[in-house]
Chains A and B, each alone.
Chain A
Amino acid sequence: MKLEIRDLRAQIDDTPILKGIDLTMESGQLHALMGPNGSGKSTLSNVIFGHPSYEVTGGEILVDGENILELETHERARLGLFMAFQYPVEIPGVTVGRFLKRAAEIRFGEEDFKASAFIKELRSWLDFMDMDQNFINRYLNEGFSGGEKKRMEVLQMLMLKPSFAVMDETDSGLDIDALRIVANGLNELRGPDFGGMVITHYQRILDYIKPDFVHIMYKGTIVTSGGRELVEALEERGYDWIRKQHGIEEEENEKEIVHEH
Chain B
Amino acid sequence: MSTEQEQVQVEDYKYGFHFPDESVFKTERGLNEAVIHAISDHKNEPEWMREFRLESLRTFRAKPMPNWGGDLSGIDFENICYYAKPSEKQYDSWDDVPAAIKETYDRLGIPEAERKYLAGVGAQYDSEMVYHNIQQELKDKGVIFTDPETAVREHPDLVRKFFGTVIPYSDNKFAALNSAVWSGGSFVYIPPGVHVDVPLQAYFRINSQNFGQFERTLIIADEGSFVHYVEGCTAPVFATDSLHSAVVEIVALEGARVRYSTIQNWSSDVYNLVTKRGVAYKDATVEWVDGNLGSKRTMKYPAVWLMGEGAHGEILSIAFGGKGQEQDTGGKCVHCASNTSSVITSKSISKDGGIASYRGQIKVEPGLTNVRSHVECDALILDPESKSNTYPYMDIMSDDVSIEHEARVSKISEEQLFYLTSRGLDEEEASTMIVNGFLDPLVKQLPMEYAVELNRLIELEMEGSVG
Contacts and interface: CB of A to CB of B under 8 A. Distances in A.
Given A52-B414, A53-B414, A92-B438, A102 B422 contact: no
A106 B425 contact: yes
Interface in A158-177: 160
A156 interface: yes
Contacts of B422: 49, 73-74, 76-77, 82-83, 85
A88 interface: yes
Interface in B428-465: 429-430, 433-434, 436-441
B418 A51 contact: yes
B424 A107 contact: yes
A77 B437 contact: no
A117 interface: no
Nearest to A46: B418
A89 interface: yes
A239 interface: no
A72 interface: yes
A232 to B, nearest CB: 33
Contact of B420 (A72, A78, A91): A91
B421 A72 contact: yes
Given A88-B419, A91-B416, A139 B437 contact: yes
A92 B437 contact: yes
B188 to A, nearest CB: 33
Contacts of A103: 423-425
Interface string A66-84: 0000001110111000110
B426 interface: yes
B431 to A, nearest CB: 11
Contacts of B430: 74
B55 interface: no
A88 B418 CA distance: 11
Given A51-B418, A73-B418, A93 B425 contact: no
Interface of B: prevailing SS: helix
A144 interface: no
A99 interface: yes
Interface string B365-398: 0000000000000000000000000000000000
B352 interface: no
Contacts, number: 77
A94 B434 CA distance: 7
Interface in A76-132: 76-78, 82-83, 85, 88-94, 99, 102-103, 106-107
B415 A91 contact: no
Contacts of A53: 414
A73, A94, A106 pick with most chain B CB within 10 angstroms: A73
A92 B436 CA distance: 10
B426 A72 contact: yes
Given A53-B414, A89-B415, A94 B440 contact: yes
A85 B421 CA distance: 13
A52 B439 CA distance: 27
B437 A49 contact: no
Contact of B416 (A46, A51, A89, A107): A89
Nearest to A78: B424
B418 A93 contact: no
Given A93-B437, A93-B439, A94-B433, A74 B416 contact: no
Interface in B137-161: none
B223 to A, nearest CB: 38
B427 interface: yes
B421 A77 contact: yes
Contacts of A78: 424
B427 A72 contact: yes
A74 B427 contact: yes
A89 B429 CA distance: 17
Nearest to B440: A93
A106 to B, nearest CB: 4
A145 B439 CA distance: 24
A102 B50 CA distance: 58
Contacts of A106: 423-425
Contacts of A102: 425, 429, 433
A139 B438 CA distance: 11
A89 B421 contact: no
B332 to A, nearest CB: 26
B275 to A, nearest CB: 31
Nearest to B347: A93
A83 B429 CA distance: 19
Given A89-B415, A93-B440, A74 B421 contact: yes
B199 to A, nearest CB: 24
Nearest to B415: A89
Contacts of B429: 102
Among B420, B421, B422, B429, find the residue whose CB has the most chain A CB atoms closer than 10 A: B422
Interface centre among B418, B426, B436, B438 (most CB of A within 10 A): B418
B433 A91 contact: yes
Name the residue among A72, A93, A107 with the largest chain B CB count within 10 angstroms. A93
Nearest to B433: A94
A42 B106 CA distance: 55
Nearest to B418: A51
B424 A99 contact: no
A111 to B, nearest CB: 16
B425 A74 contact: yes
A10 B420 CA distance: 23
A50 B457 CA distance: 31
Contacts of B427: 72, 74
22 contacts: A49-B418, A49-B422, A72-B426, A73-B418, A74-B427, A74-B430, A77-B421, A77-B422, A78-B424, A85-B422, A89-B413, A89-B416, A90-B416, A92-B437, A93-B436, A93-B441, A94-B433, A94-B440, A99-B433, A102-B429, A102-B433, A160-B424
Given A53-B414, A92-B437, A103-B425, 9 more contacts: A49-B418, A72-B427, A74-B430, A82-B423, A91-B420, A93-B438, A94-B440, A102-B429, A106-B425
The 8 closest A-B pairs by CB, nearest first: A93-B437, A93-B440, A94-B437, A89-B419, A73-B421, A77-B424, A106-B424, A103-B423
